[in-house]
Chain A
Amino acid sequence: MSKRTFGSRLADAATVSLAFFWLIPLIFSLLMSFRPQAEPITIGNIFVGSRITFENYAAALQVAPWAWHYITSILFVFGVLAVQIVTVTMAGYAFARLRFRGRNLLLFVILLQLMIPSGVLLVQNFATIRALDLFDTRWALMLPYWGSAFGVLLMRQTFRGIPYELEEAARIDGASWLQIMRHVYVPLSIPAYVAFGLVSISSHWNEFLWPFIVTRTEEVRPLTVGLNKLYGTTEVGALYGQLMAGTLLVIAPLVILFILFQRRFIESFATSGIK
């Protein structure tokens, strides 16, 4: 496999050029965030302004209590993910491997969650959160996401791809259901869990409307609410530098997390390669 064929060189070239193309928006948002506000890219050099400035970051930081927003976002996404891992593993297994009355109906009901835009259910869900006395708390942010149709579907698809013979063999050895999950299904599904973790974290990190509707206190509101504040300034003129600075501040932790996660990705890639 170490011989470099023409095909693999072509693939390398395609990877690099696609990646470059995809990076353009990020590169320019970085450049814009350090460019003086009064200098749009049409003035002077297209890449850098007349000077490098941190004023966009300073202005963006001033607009919202970002430290609280960071804390809330972190608690929110991990509070959701921790519960989700358990619930989607359980339900994913049931739908992948067990036969029971009403299975398809229940799967259908759960999948409805994916199809119904939550934004149109705000009124009733707001009322539910008020009734549960969780309004304006971090619990209110998390609660609706603890059941994840997305995760159930993903784990169902993943578990179905695992040979049933492995479970049978473990069962003959006297393994309990928990042991089977621990030693067969979960380890063989690590790539799917990593993928799920990534998308769960990034989508909740970026959730805006629901947190915005069920919280009022800045301390329990996530980063997107702060970003929304910055976005509001477009009413008096789009301050792209500030918007980019704010966006980069918001995604910085996710980028770090991704870099850590993606090492795990390579590891799981390596182990599955060995087998």
Chain B
Amino acid sequence: MDAQAQPITASVVPISRRATRSWAQRLFPYLLVAPTLVFVILFTLLPATRTVVDSTMEPGRRASDPFTFVGLENYGDLFNPSHHIGSRFTRILGNTLIFSLVTLGVSVPLALLFAMLLNRPIRFMGIWRFSLFYPSLLPLIGAASIWAFLYSDSIGLFNTILRSFGLQTINWTGDPNTVLWSIIGMNIWKQTGYYMIFYLAGLQSIPRDIYEAAALDGANFRQQFFALTLPLLRRTTLFVVVISSIFAFQTVEQLQALNQGNPADRGNLLLYFIFQNIGERRNWGYINAMTVILVAILLVFTISNFVFFEKGQEDE
């Protein structure tokens, strides 16, 4: 297992070192990838291509009318402050960025902390593990309903507690200044346990003897954490950061139950906004343009993460 102590080992190796490979060997990787690829192409790639095309189109009045090509006009409208969608889009995009960065910045380190706490011998392990993970088991609409109750201004738990201490109550999801933070709070509670699972799996594949050797060398906890744990969890962190940013950008159901984007869009997020407009057929071009922008942001973020975390690890 000492190979794991040197994570820089070239990890991609050709299946055969012979210069010429048989057609079967050359075909083999594609066969492995094919089953996944078929479903991804059918249910994601093809419809997504259509999304890009439709983002340059404007539907006609009747459902049977053909679309009109309008070039990048839909994108322009999204940034036009007097347009019925454009006037809201930039604020909501800003909310989404704040929401994603804060959620990510808090829940990913917190998930690592959870995982490290639970990766130690402790009594009643099952209880603690369950307590921190169970929010991921809840359906979003159920979780959001619970939080709607916690946050309720008049009959909610938090305000009842504040009141019982004689404190000023907070209109958690009704006050324009607190609403975004309330959604972020709920989201951190919901998602952290989920990311914790991956850190736990990552921690468990680090052999204990590495730490024992480090401890013998006199390394304290902090040195062990920065010199061993963090670098060895590099792949896991890449995975968790990518996944959590994607999830944050795609938050919808929480808003449905908590605040419907209100008040005044101060608690609105991009994908929920897209769904708010999807019922009007004539917004189809805007829906697709907003989707393209959402995916483009995620792409940039994901690719830069891969570059950042995997530099020096590729053999090509």
Q: Chain A interface (Cβ within 8 Å of chain B)?
A: 1, 7-8, 11-12, 14-16, 18-20, 22-26, 28-29, 32, 40-42, 46, 86-88, 90-91, 93-100, 103, 106, 109-121, 123-125, 128, 143-150, 152-154, 157-158, 160-161, 163-165, 177, 188, 191-192, 194-195, 198-199, 202, 205-206, 208, 223-224, 227-228, 231, 238, 240, 243-244, 246-247, 250-251, 254-255, 258-259, 262-263, 265-266, 268-269, 272-273, 275
Contacts and interface: CB of A to CB of B under 8 A. Distances in A.
A40 B152 CA distance: 11
A22 B50 CA distance: 42
Interface string B231-244: 00001101100110
Given A18-B114, A157-B239, A247-B139, A46 B164 contact: yes
Interface residues of B: mostly helix, strand, loop or mixed?
helix
Contact of A272 (B15, B31, B164, B205): B205
Contact of A240 (B120, B135, B149, B208): B149
A192 to B, nearest CB: 5
Contacts of A263: 126
A87 B131 contact: no
Nearest to A84: B36
Nearest to B190: A25
7 contacts: A112-B295, A154-B239, A160-B12, A161-B205, A255-B130, A258-B134, A269-B204
Interface stretch (B2-10, B66-74, B88-96): B2-10
B51 A121 contact: yes
Nearest to A117: B250
Contacts of B41: 109
Nearest to A263: B126
B136 A199 contact: yes
Contacts of B252: 117, 119
A115 B299 contact: yes
Interface string B180-211: 00000000010001100110110011011000
Nearest to A104: B316
B129 A124 contact: no
Contacts of B200: 191, 195, 265
Contacts of A188: 205
A199 B196 CA distance: 11
Interface residues of A: mostly helix, strand, loop or mixed?
helix
A156 to B, nearest CB: 9
Nearest to B110: A18
Nearest to B250: A117
Contacts of A93: 32
B107 interface: no
B139 A262 contact: no
Interface string B260-297: 00000000000100110010000000011001001100
A150 B299 CA distance: 15
Contact of B142 (A144, A195, A246): A246
Interface of B: 1, 3-4, 7, 9-15, 26, 28-33, 35-48, 50-51, 114, 117-122, 125-143, 145-150, 152, 154-155, 157, 160-161, 163-164, 189, 193-194, 197-198, 200-201, 204-205, 207-208, 221, 235-236, 238-239, 242-243, 246, 249-250, 252-253, 257, 271, 274-275, 278, 287-288, 291, 294-295, 298-299, 302, 316
B225 to A, nearest CB: 12
Contacts of A16: 128
A42 B164 CA distance: 10
A261 B31 CA distance: 32
A163 B9 contact: yes
Nearest to A157: B235
A137 to B, nearest CB: 16
A14 B129 CA distance: 13
B173 to A, nearest CB: 13
Contact of B141 (A24, A143, A154, A228): A228
A128 B114 CA distance: 42
Given A42-B160, A128-B43, A94 B33 contact: yes
A160 B11 contact: yes
A117 B291 contact: yes
A87 B39 CA distance: 10
A129 to B, nearest CB: 9
A94 B148 CA distance: 45
B142 A227 contact: yes
Nearest to A206: B139
Nearest to A14: B117
A120 to B, nearest CB: 5
